[in-house]
Amino acid sequence: MTLAPARSGHGERLAWGALVAFIVSCGFAVIRAVDPRYFYVDDTESGAVGNWIQLGHLMQEGQWFPTLVLDQWMAGNYPVEGQGGLFNPVQMGINYIAPSVDDMAMLAMLVKLGFSIVLAWGVYRVALEYGARPGWAAVAAASAPFTGFTLYFEQTSWVTSLIGMAWVVQAWASGIRYARGRSGPLPTFVFLYLAISVGYAHAALLAGVTLGSLMIGEYVFRGRWRDVARLAAVGIAAASAGAITFLPAILSSDVTWRTGEAGTLNDNFLTAPWSETLTASIPSSVSSIESWTGETTTAPITYIAWFVIPALAFIGWHAARHALRELTAPLLLLVFALLFTAGPSDIGQIRWPARLLPFVAVIVLILVVVLVSRFGTTRPLRPRLIAAGLLIVVLVLRASSSGPQYFGRHVMWGVAIAAFGALTIYLGRKYGTNTLVALLLVTIVPVVLYQVSTYPKALNKLYLPTSQSEAKAEFPDFEGTTLQLSTRGLMEINASTPRLPWHSLVSGNYAKMLDLDYVNAYTPVGHRAFSKLLCMSFEGSTCDEAYASLFTVDPYTQATFADLMRLDRVVLQREQYPHIDETPPPPGWHWVEPPPVAKGEIVVLERDGGPVSTAPGRVSATVGVDVRPISSTVDHERLEVTSPTGGSVVFARLAWPGYTATLDGNPLQTKGLGDMFLYVDIPPGTHAAELDIHFDPPGWQLGLAGMGFGLLVLLVLMALHYRSKFRRHPPERVYTPAL
């Protein structure tokens, strides 16, 4: 017998799609019941949510496309950071709402749930387009958000990766429809643009590879260059429109950490050998993939679905070979993804190839359900049962190789898979395919419950407060600009810690959640020279020597670096600087008693005379120049300068590429003092001249032009589509009798 039901209608497809959303929601509810912080871990709690909140505040203040947050210094250049979604309308909506949601763990969960449903529906649509029946497509769709790497890395931490993949899979589905003339170019363009403008390099890479594979696949299947040309044109339009997301980072890379990330190397970190695919159906399997927990990641991160590998025994492969031409695109994508995930670990700025394991899982799910739906059979039954049993034995043995300490669990799951597989076949033969796929759908959430209960950790939890209001109430209300000198490695952070440090110290983007002006913030990009000054890491930690470096006198300006930054306060971690307050403070500064909530954990150094960061303008030092501030904004500064003998004006601004200067309308060269502090030289004989400093993210003008070009190409494609549609289906003429 075959396992495929009769062709279904539109209503049935909608019903199965709704069931997918329900199952994904149930999975999230179960996970949150097990661990309320599950979706609020690592980079989500220390990076993403803080960005959403700060960008939301800026948008609510009228900065709809924020550029610089000056007092954050190397983490304050949002166009270079890229992942703020400054031109992504969906991300902009999330940012705008974020400050109004007090429970940050709930906010993270709801965002991830929304995009998990978007991902699931994308998988559902792709499977349907390749001929899967709705029930089988629903099985793949509901499984996709809970595959191993997605469950343990993206659902917990790397939310931007989850968002990017969701849009890429939706673009894949819409691209098939567009190539085959069943849809216009707009959906494909929108989803491609959303994937690119997320600002995640792997998502942009996947968008390009998916579109390229689809172009090849559709030509192999249909042999029509017109289909390829349409896909290529919509891809060019989306890439042009989305280029503005990456241009500032590319054109600023010379001053960032990224400039050194050239060439190819392999240190095996987060690379996934192909043999790991042999654990794709064992929910208990740990992985021989090196990550932050060691050479073996003690979580089932290569798991896809318990039925995926055994299902291969029930495909009529002789009949299925005739469909391989139609499945060229997913097969090409699978080959690319497997080659990429196997290493090397670093290809220029693209690193950690295991990040594409979620895409491997999605492609495998789609291929398996399409093949089983279209070519599934139980005849002859006995040899197929034997083949499935042998596949389960191989799964158990391979899982035991990676995690021999869990041998009993692997055997238990091998027996369970065999039993549920036999039950599935029985129900399918007796009651039909809908009953079979219903059983598969019912098993998804229990497997997720087992995994998150048994293997709770793949990334570190920081246990930051989840409530904005409570976090602000329990943290000192420091006025002005604060620099924290600390290292996260000295903080005791675990579930049993009686007193966590987050009422006195910040880490990552925690200060953004507190709505405080801290230099310390999370950045994957960094500014090389500034980072070297304080040996500041990606999450804001500094080294022991940072204090001495901060109060070193710059020989040109005769000002300390703390003065050049216009700091109001320095907070020092007591454990890193245990007796620092017993030494004399630097000139112009004094030790103050920390607030009671932070006593014993931090030492506070404040500037004599109160805050200076609130003074008009951003001038931090002058050499031979008299200045009078006229106006100052984030991106623009005007002041009157006088210098009879010539000199310099130094600003409390990091010398990012993109600054320009004019003196009475004549261009001046902008420079970087120590490659850090923006300054300009004023020529001799200058009297009451107007100095104008302006910041425009490098590449934004080109990016806006690219966006305009992309939209123009889209309009042309839409016009061609509707003209073609009109010619195929002209409207009926209505004749009105003469009066």
Query: What is the set of domains in the chain, with CATH numbers?
Result: 10-277+289-377+432-454 (no CATH), 468-607 (no CATH), 619-695 (2.60.40)
- 731 pLDDT more than 50: yes
pLDDT band at 728 (very low <50, low <70, confident <90, very high): low
Residue in 478, 484, 517, 489 with CA at minimum distance from that of residue 603: 484
CA angle 613/568/677 to nearest 5° reads 65
Q: Are 179 and 717 in contact (CB under 8 A)?
A: no
What are the start-end ranges of the H helices in 432-490?
433-454, 468-473
Q: How far apart are CA 131 and CA 373, in angstroms?
A: 8
Q: What confidence tens digit (pLDDT) does each residue in 524-537 have?
A: 999 999 999 999 99
The distance from CA 17 to its chain's CA centroid, rounded to whole angstroms, is: 26
pLDDT band at 7 (very low <50, low <70, confident <90, very high): low
How large is the average pLDDT for residues 654-676?
96
Which pair of structure tokens corresponds to residue 441?
């759908």
Q: Are 178 and 332 in contact (CB under 8 A)?
A: no
Q: Are 600 and 572 in contact (CB under 8 A)?
A: no
Instruction: Please tell me the total number of residues recorded for the chain in this structure.
Output: 739
Which pair of structure tokens corresponds to residue 250?
């590319």
Q: What confidence tens digit (pLDDT) does each residue in 514-568 have?
A: 999 999 999 999 999 999 999 999 999 999 999 999 999 999 999 999 999 999 9
Q: Are 650 and 679 in contact (CB under 8 A)?
A: yes
How large is the average pLDDT for residues 472-481?
93
The secondary structure of residue 667, as a DSSP letter, is E
Residue in 170, 233, 158 with CA at minimum distance from that of residue 199: 158
Q: How far apart are CA 102 and CA 99, in angstroms?
A: 7
pLDDT band at 499 (very low <50, low <70, confident <90, very high): confident
Burial of 548 by CB count in 10 Å (0-12 exposed, 13-18 middle, 19+ buried)?
exposed
Question: Residue 598's pLDDT is what?
Answer: 83
Q: Are 507 and 539 in contact (CB under 8 A)?
A: yes
Residue in 261, 234, 433, 429 with CA at minimum distance from that of residue 348: 261
Question: Residue 274's pLDDT is what?
Answer: 80
Q: How far apart are CA 545 and CA 27, in angstroms?
A: 48
Q: Is the pTM of this model over 0.75?
A: yes
Q: How far apart are CA 520 and CA 523, in angstroms?
A: 9
Q: Secondary structure of the chain: what % helix, strand, coil (to 5)?
A: 55, 15, 35
Strands 517-518 and 481-485: parallel
pLDDT band at 4 (very low <50, low <70, confident <90, very high): very low
How large is the average pLDDT for residues 4-10?
59
CA angle 572/577/578 to nearest 5° reads 120
The distance from CA 439 to its chain's CA centroid, rounded to whole angstroms, is: 33
For the chain, count helices (H), then strands (E). Answer: 26, 17
How large is the average pLDDT for residues 152-159?
95
Q: What is the 3-state secondary structure (H, E, C) of 277-341?
A: HHHCCCCCCCECCEECCECCECCCCCCCCCCHHHHHHHECHHHHHHHCCCCHHHHHHHHHHHHHH
Q: Are 377 and 2 in contact (CB under 8 A)?
A: yes
Q: What confidence tens digit (pLDDT) does each residue in 312-367 have?
A: 999 999 999 888 899 999 999 999 999 999 888 888 778 889 999 999 999 999 99
